């Protein structure tokens, strides 16, 4: 008879910048030998031991599993020990595939922090059939990209259905306020994607497709209108500019629409709100130029190398103080086809990319391990909204410092 796995969750890549924050969060929240059976994993035993030491003597019983992301045998062994693998080993397009393969083949549930849409597409194409056979539930993008966006739209749609008896067809998210920084791993993932796209026209075409990670449909989907420049937004009553995470978030939300069937004419975009009047306009122009300029600059190899010198390296990221004092506030505006409208606000109490992200992925992993039975949700590739629904919203509000409110 097969034995049940020893752990609910293994944090793979626990020594990464964000993995260390996740480890501290899980330890502070659940301890060792508490309600959650968990372990830390990575390729270097000495780094994992050093990380465990930082938690203090009471963390000594926290189990350690050594596995290299390139070793199929080590990854299969890791999978046999746990219900869920939570991976922060990135860039995922460089290191992530062997673990997806191992999880899909062994029926092990998986979540991660990737924002690399082309890689998500390839993993779905290669491993979805296997995951469906074995029962592995694979959930990408469980951090700042794309939980606030995907769960925010899910929350808005549930509220719309309750109040209006129908889902919204037109939805947009505006970042009202945010404070945070960026880590070396995130920069490495972004640069790897830009580097690949600059020499690959097919990939550039795929990146421009808002439906790139959606299953095919037999009807004509609506044209999406991503925010690429300065625009005055009548819902936000302010100027808005392109949002750097929109490219992945919009695709994840479109996949949720495809699987949850919010609406056949569903349109969605994201932007950053910069304010009213001439100052708001100038802010939007500055954000547009900075984002566009950065993308163009990093596409040119010598400039990319030069810029890289000034950006955080792998293992580096915002200080504990910056994580603690960071936050984000999003507003999601929805309108039904018959003209009713609704606004919801989603906020987080730490810097979006690290302090908040660590709590979001931890609760997503726990939701996968403890709340959602395989009989309810069988194997396959899910978005956070499709797999977790309201169970994750409850967890995020109770244990991760997020709020979801109807504000208009
Ligand atoms: N979605 C979001 O909101 C969000 C937020 C934060 C981060 N991220 C993503 O999360 C990932 C991690 O970011 P980060 O800044 O924390 O990264 P990081 O500090 O650069 O860490 C990378 C990790 O990968 C591990 N690794 C590399 N090669 C490996 C191998 N062959 N076998 C096992 N482990 C290996 C490293 O292990 P060693 O420690 O042994 O070197 C390290 O733990 C990135 O892809 C980033 O884009 C996403």
pLDDT tens digits, 319-369: 999 999 999 999 999 999 999 999 999 999 999 999 999 999 999 999 999
pLDDT exceeds 60 at position 301? yes
As given in the structure block, the two tokens for residue 407 are 């504000």
Q: How high is the pLDDT of residue 2?
A: 58
pLDDT exceeds 90 at position 304? no
CA angle 141, 145, 151 (to 5 degrees): 85
Name the maximum alpha-carbon separation found in the chain: 70
Comparing CA positions, the residue from 339, 237, 207, 224 lying closest to residue 270 is 224
In the chain, the percentage of residues whose pLDDT exceeds 70 is: 99
Mutate to test the pocket of ligand 1, among 85, 185, 319, 322 (most ligand atoms within 8 A of CB): 185
| Higher pLDDT among residues 279 and 4, named by residue | 279
pLDDT band at 295 (very low <50, low <70, confident <90, very high): confident
- Cα–Cα distances in angstroms (integers) from residue 211 to residues 9, 153, 279, in the given order: 31, 17, 35
CA distance 101 to 79: 11
CA of 156 from ligand 1 middle (Å) equals: 32
Ligand 1 atom index nearest CA of 146: 1
**Domain spans in the chain, listed from the N-terminal domain onward:** 7-143+355-399, 147-351
321 class by beta-carbon count within 10 Å (0-12 exposed, 13-18 middle, 19+ buried): exposed
- Regarding the beta carbon of 112 and ligand 1, being less than 6 Å apart is answered no
**Contact criterion met (CB below 8 Å) for 143 and 402:** no
Ligand 1 atom index nearest CA of 248: 1
Alpha carbon nearest to ligand 1 atom 2, residue: 143
Q: How high is the pLDDT of residue 213?
A: 97
Report the CATH number of the 7-143+355-399 domain. 3.40.50.720
Please give the average per-residue pLDDT across 197-226, as a whole number: 92
Based on DSSP, count helices (H) and strands (E) in the chain, helices before strands: 15, 14
pLDDT digits (tens, 9 = 90+) for 100-115: 999 999 999 999 999 9
Please give the average per-residue pLDDT across 54-77, as a whole number: 97
CA distance 319 to 296: 28
Q: How high is the pLDDT of residue 200?
A: 87
CA angle 380, 381, 382 (to 5 degrees): 115
Under 8 Å CB-to-CB from 381, ≥6 apart: which residues?
Answer: 120, 123, 124, 127, 128, 131, 138, 139, 140
| Higher pLDDT among residues 69 and 198, named by residue | 69
Q: How high is the pLDDT of residue 195?
A: 83
Angle (deg, nearest 10), helices 184-198 and 201-208: 120
pLDDT exceeds 90 at position 302? no
pLDDT digits (tens, 9 = 90+) for 113-153: 999 999 999 999 999 999 999 999 999 999 999 999 999 99
pLDDT digits (tens, 9 = 90+) for 147-187: 999 999 999 999 999 999 999 999 999 999 999 988 888 88
Please give the average per-residue pLDDT across 10-21, as a whole number: 97
CA torsion angle 36 138 248 165 (round to 10) = -90
CA distance 293 to 165: 44
Comparing CA positions, the residue from 11, 6, 30 lying closest to residue 85 is 11
pLDDT exceeds 80 at position 306? no
- Regarding the beta carbon of 165 and ligand 1, being less than 6 Å apart is answered no
Q: How high is the pLDDT of residue 186?
A: 82
Please give the average per-residue pLDDT across 370-391, as a whole number: 97
| Higher pLDDT among residues 5 and 307, named by residue | 5
Q: How high is the pLDDT of residue 238?
A: 97
- The two beta strands, 7-12 and 82-87, are parallel
Q: How high is the pLDDT of residue 240?
A: 97
Mean pLDDT of the chain: 94
- Regarding the beta carbon of 95 and ligand 1, being less than 6 Å apart is answered yes
Comparing CA positions, the residue from 165, 389, 362, 379 lying closest to residue 256 is 389
Q: How high is the pLDDT of residue 380?
A: 98
Residue found by looking up tokens 């020893």 in the block = 6
Mutate to test the pocket of ligand 1, among 40, 186, 400 (most ligand atoms within 8 A of CB): 186
Q: How high is the pLDDT of residue 63?
A: 97
């Amino acid at each position: 008879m097969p034995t049940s796995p020893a752990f609910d969750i293994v944090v793979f890549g626990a020594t990464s910048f964000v993995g260390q924050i996740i480890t501290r969060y899980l330890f502070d929240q659940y301890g060792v030998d508490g309600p959650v059976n968990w372990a830390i994993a990575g390729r270097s035993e000495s780094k994992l031991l050093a990380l465990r030491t930082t938690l203090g003597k009471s963390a000594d019983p926290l189990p350690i599993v050594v596995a290299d992301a390139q070793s199929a045998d080590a990854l299969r062994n890791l999978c046999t020990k746990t219900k869920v693998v939570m991976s922060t080993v990135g860039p995922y397009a460089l290191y992530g595939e062997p673990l997806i393969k191992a999880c899909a083949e062994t029926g092990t549930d998986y979540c991660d922090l990737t924002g690399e849409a082309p890689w998500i597409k390839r993993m779905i194409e290669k491993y979805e059939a296997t995951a469906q056979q074995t029962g592995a539930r694979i959930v990408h993008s469980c951090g700042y990209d794309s939980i606030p966006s995907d769960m925010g739209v899910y929350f808005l749609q549930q509220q719309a259905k309750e109040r209006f008896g129908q889902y919204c067809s037109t939805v947009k998210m505006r970042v009202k306020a945010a404070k945070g920084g960026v880590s070396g791993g995130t920069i490495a993932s972004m640069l790897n994607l830009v580097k690949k796209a600059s020499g690959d026209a097919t990939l550039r075409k795929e990146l421009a497709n808002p439906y790139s990670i959606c299953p095919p449909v037999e009807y004509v989907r609506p044209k999406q209108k991503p925010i690429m420049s300065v625009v005055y937004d009548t819902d936000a009553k302010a100027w808005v500019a392109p949002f750097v995470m929109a490219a992945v978030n919009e695709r994840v939300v479109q996949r949720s629409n495809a699987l949850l069937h919010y609406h056949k004419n569903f349109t969605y975009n994201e932007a950053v709100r910069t304010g009213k009047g001439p100052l708001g306009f100038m802010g939007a122009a500055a954000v547009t130029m900075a984002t566009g300029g950065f993308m163009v600059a990093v596409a040119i190899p010598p400039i990319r190398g030069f810029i890289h010198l000034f950006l955080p390296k792998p293992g580096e990221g915002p200080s504990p103080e910056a994580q603690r004092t960071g936050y984000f506030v999003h507003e999601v505006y929805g309108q039904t086809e018959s003209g009713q409208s609704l606004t919801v606000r989603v906020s987080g109490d730490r810097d979006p990319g690290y302090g908040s992200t660590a709590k979001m992925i931890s609760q997503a992993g726990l939701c996968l391990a403890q709340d959602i039975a395989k009989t309810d949700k069988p194997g396959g590739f899910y978005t956070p909204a499709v797999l977790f629904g309201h169970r994750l919203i409850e967890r995020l509000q109770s244990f991760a410092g997020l709020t979801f409110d109807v504000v208009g």
